[in-house]
Amino acid sequence: MTESNENIYYFEKAPIHKTIAHFSIPMILGMSASVIYSLINAYFIGFLHNSEMLTAITLAFPIIGILMSFGNLIGVGGGTYISRLLGEKDYKSVKQVSAFSFYGTLLLGIVICLVSIPFISTIVNGLGASATSFLYTKDYVTILLIGAPIIMINFALEQTVRSEGAAKVSMYGMILSVIMNILLDAIFIFGLDWGMKGIAAATIISNLVAALYYMQFIHRKSTFLTLSWKACRVTLVMIRNILGVGIPVFLLSVFMSITALFFNHFLAIYGDTSVAAYGISSRLMQIPDFIIMGLSEGVVPVIAYCFTSNKKRMKQIILFTSAVIIVIAALSSTILFSISNHFVGMFTIDPELIAIGSFILKVTVFSLFLTGFTFLISGIFQATGQGIAALAMAVAQGSILIPTLFVMKHYFQFHGVIWSLVIADFMALTVGSVLIYLLRKRLNVAPEIEVAEG
């Protein structure tokens, strides 16, 4: 069985649990590898005993989020459209969309690089850098923006190969990027003493390596995808389908980056120690978060495929995924809550940092159940091309936290700022649940087709 035929088998005929495992486990492993890199990165910086560098990485996180959002603007919209086209057996359009996703993202990345570099100091000030962390943050952000086209292309290509069902290829690319990042970090930080510039350069180079890996897969092994310029045809239908999903995903990422910026500003009121503590605890939370996110994002291509070919199978996949989310959230929250001090203590010996980081970790674990289903609901809207619903979810997820922060800080100060994360997640899930209920008929309009599950 060729790789493409194997992917079609998992799209159409494999037992539900095997289908979810095939699509989600590689995604989970790839995303978990990214979390491991983030933790090791913080661990490396810990050897330098420089809390300003750790603060700089935390402050610059919104920039990475924004670059990811631009990569996903075309990448996610194009990817989910490709999966639906595969379900319809429209292979000519698949090639056109995959080519457009590549060249459209590359052009957008070049534009962002050229526009942002002249305003680098303004951008760093806007991130909330203090006088002590300004230069570290500027060094890091400058190189990230120079490499914007590479970072964006990597995100877009990862979405493109996943859309074909090549989940393992997606995973290999992500893991390859992480391994390269860790190796280059060690060389640039300890061997060459490049500091923040070295960390940023390692990020760009590792993204380039992963992007080249995806490109060679599409060129040599993919049956349905292409990067050929000749195949790049732009139609109104294509743009509407890509941007109908891509714009909400883009706005969600931008909103989340903006809210992260607001959140950092609120934390900065209580000192760099609070920002650094949140940086450590949020990295620890990334482990279960990315597992659940990987599960939810992993099934998006198969939900999209089945939406145009087999509604019954689509519903079975959604229900099974929901049950797995509950199990993962329950186990993870129990472990993190029970020994939070020990986890935070892996990255610092500062007792104040440990105390604050442990408190943040104990509060935010409650969000695992909430964000898990929010991820899944957003994935369903993306997969089925429900642009308006996806946009409503993006606005809800991205905007609710800001007013919540103002209210909770006013009444409960630092504790209120931290608890606002959980409250905002609950409200976003409520919006998603209402939208799913309102769209229940539209998501089941096609007649159900019996498919052997054995």
Least confident of 69-78, 202-211, 439-448: 439-448
Report whether pLDDT(166) > 50: yes
Cβ atoms within 10 Å, residue 338: 12
Count structural domains, the chain. 1
The answer to whether position 450 is within a domain reads: no
By residue range, what is the domain housing residue 188?
3-443
SS3 for 346-406, per residue?
A: CCCCCHHHHHHHHHHHHHHCCHHHHHHHHHHHHHHHHHCCCHHHHHHHHHHHHHCHHHHHH
The answer to whether position 452 is within a domain reads: no
Split at pLDDT 50, 70, 90, the class of 270 is confident
The answer to whether position 68 is within a domain reads: yes
The answer to whether position 241 is within a domain reads: yes
Say which residue, 83 or 109, is predicted with more confidence: 109
The pLDDT tens digits of the residues spanning 167-182 come to: 788 888 888 888 888 8
**Which amino acid is located at 77 in the chain?**
G
| Structure confidence at residue 446 (pLDDT) | 39
* Cβ(157)–Cβ(225) below 8 Å: no
Q: What is the DSSP string of 174-243?
A: HHHHHHHHHHHHHIIIIIS--HHHHHHHHHHHHHHHHHHHHHHHHHHT-SS----GGG----HHHHHHHH
| Structure confidence at residue 52 (pLDDT) | 67
Least confident of 56-60, 70-74, 136-140: 56-60
Question: Nearest 5°: CA angle at 421, between 247 and 401?
Answer: 50
The answer to whether position 71 is within a domain reads: yes
**Which amino acid is located at 445 in the chain?**
V
| Structure confidence at residue 48 (pLDDT) | 62
Residue 52 in tokens: 């300003």
The answer to whether position 454 is within a domain reads: no
Say which residue, 59 or 331, is predicted with more confidence: 331
The answer to whether position 363 is within a domain reads: yes
Cβ atoms within 10 Å, residue 48: 14
Q: For all residues of the chain together, what is the average pLDDT?
A: 81
Q: CA 274, CA 170: separation in Å to the nearest integer?
A: 35
The answer to whether position 63 is within a domain reads: yes
Percentage helix, strand, coil for the chain under 3-state DSSP, each rounded to 5: 85, 0, 15
| Structure confidence at residue 155 (pLDDT) | 86
